[in-house]
Amino acid sequence: MLTVLLVAIVPIVALTTGLPVLALVAVAGLFYTATLLATESIFEGLSAAIFVLVTFSANVPLVELPLGGEEYTTPILNALLVDVVVIPFAGLMLWWLYSGKISLNFGRERIVGYALAGFVCWSLLAGLVGNGPSRLAGLFYVVVQLRHLVLFTISAVIVKYIGIRSAVYSLGIAIVGQLMYAMAEILNYGSFGLTYLGDSGSGPGPAFSVGPLQFEYALYAGGFAGTSRILVALLLLVIPVIVAIVVRRSIVWKLAAAVALVCSTLLVRVSQTDSGFAAFLFTALLMAIALCTLWIATDTTDRTPRDRTSDYVSGISSTVGLAALSVFLFTRREISRTSRSTKATGTSGGDSASGTSAFGGVSSTRSNSEVGSDFMIQIANQIPFIETTNFSIRLQQYIAAIDIGLQYPLFGIGGMNFPLVAESYGLPRPIEIHNIYLSILASTGFPGAVFFLLSISAVLVIAGKKAMSSESDHLFWAMLICGMLGFHAYSFWVTIHSGGVAYLVFWVLAGTVVGANRRQETDITSRSSAT
């Protein structure tokens, strides 16, 4: 219900009547709350609201930080739409915990929470140590990570009582709703301008054609998740679950899932992200391997061999078809291979040889690695379909991150500090590191990176054990793993970690994985479910 209200009804009414968006959102919230009270489904309704609202990038900037002058500023602390629900829900959860209605008796899965909490604490230490130019930015970075921990914990508790499928399907419905809004923006050849809900409002780019149809490269087509590249990250998490629907559900669900998959493939192309394209193909490969393995290695008593074969053939065909469609769309380029190669080697992003470290002296790491960087760029230029225009800039970022990690191995320079020193490393402007792992290394040092990698690895191990359990839905869990691996492959090349909702959604999903191992019943849940 909430997805329909915020993604369809509120935008339609706002665009047709001119009524203020914030007022309509407030009315929608009151209507949703009244529905929960009338149906006695407060717990389920608030839970569903968290899974829906976490996909909205609507926010109010609270603190902004200048980056080397007035031209560049970045918000380092925002109040998000999901906070409106998380704060009262956290209060209710504490009351239920005090009164004994819920419990936090997690088993070995608690290692994820411990690792994530360790990362938050180490980020705090890195901010307090203040090796970077802004201690304030480092401390507000901790607030962002603390929000991840809170949402992870709440999600894990929720799923203990409502089940992982209710949670994942609520999240998936919200993301598909964002996708449908993005498709409307693509057909509109422009943003609808509803920035109060999280619409990016950015302008279009060049066009590409598919037969008689013409599409624009459009960062604006991100629904209310922000830019289209952030929405691509969210889709990578749920596309495998949609493929699972193709395998298991009725023909009506299969058709609906097929539409969502085709739209997802188009969005990846429209977002003009080669990183997304590569991650999309990687996810498709993982799904194909998983589906073939499950088809051969598992058996079910509730399906005839013929029906089971038909189901898995549908899933594998969908996966292969998505990959083929993606490759076809990415051949619709305007830039020739020759000009692409020239741009890739010519766009240096600044004179790295003369770049001076923010902490004194010339970075010898950059100077000694120029030949190696050029060699890697030449190799990257040989990869078919992949645009390498910005590859040299990213290599500079990676070298700078490693250099910072070696200079400050314990605490790094603090979160959100890299843009403040980016230009001193020869980069053309204050930008974040296009790699989550190296970004964390530069921000929090090696211990912080270890905590972060441990938390992610533990989530994947828990999901893997669940996938191999004889009592679980092997397909469902295998697809969740494929989505999380594809998401983190994408994170290796982009800056979805530097703001927005991408990692909020991931940690909510991670919480559902942890909480699913400890399903319990309680009197706080009621007879109906709000979606």
Tens of pLDDT, residue by residue, the chain (531 residues): 889 999 999 999 999 998 888 899 999 989 998 998 888 888 888 889 999 999 998 777 666 666 554 445 555 567 788 888 998 888 888 887 888 777 776 677 889 999 999 999 999 999 999 898 888 888 889 988 999 999 999 999 888 888 888 899 999 999 999 999 999 988 888 888 888 888 876 666 677 777 777 777 778 888 898 888 899 999 999 999 999 988 887 788 888 999 999 999 999 988 888 888 999 999 999 999 999 998 887 666 556 677 778 888 888 998 999 999 988 888 876 543 333 333 333 333 333 333 334 344 334 344 444 444 454 545 454 455 555 566 778 888 999 999 999 999 999 999 888 988 888 888 888 888 889 999 999 999 999 999 999 999 999 999 998 888 766 688 899 999 999 999 999 998 888 877 678 999 999 999 999 988 655 444 455 433 445
> What is the pLDDT, as a whole number, of residue 347?
35
The full length of the chain comes to 531
> What is the pLDDT, as a whole number, of residue 453?
96
Comparing C-alpha atoms, which of 389, 497, 502 is closest to residue 449? 497
- Rounded to an integer, what distance in angstroms lies between the CA atom of residue 50 and that of residue 512? 12
> What is the pLDDT, as a whole number, of residue 203?
64
Q: How many CB atoms lie within 10 A of CB 7?
A: 25
- Rounded to an integer, what distance in angstroms lies between the CA atom of residue 64 and that of residue 262? 38
> What is the pLDDT, as a whole number, of residue 519?
55
State the sign of the Cα–Cα–Cα–Cα dihedral 112, 116, 121, 126: positive
Point out which residues pair with 216 in neighbouring strands. 207
Query: 213-218 and 204-210 as β-strands: parallel, antiparallel, unpaired?
Result: antiparallel
> What is the pLDDT, as a whole number, of residue 265?
92
Q: How many CB atoms lie within 10 A of CB 226?
A: 28
pTM: 0.84
Structure letter (DSSP) for residue 6: I
Measure Cα distances from 467 to 152, 402, 479 in Å.
21, 36, 9
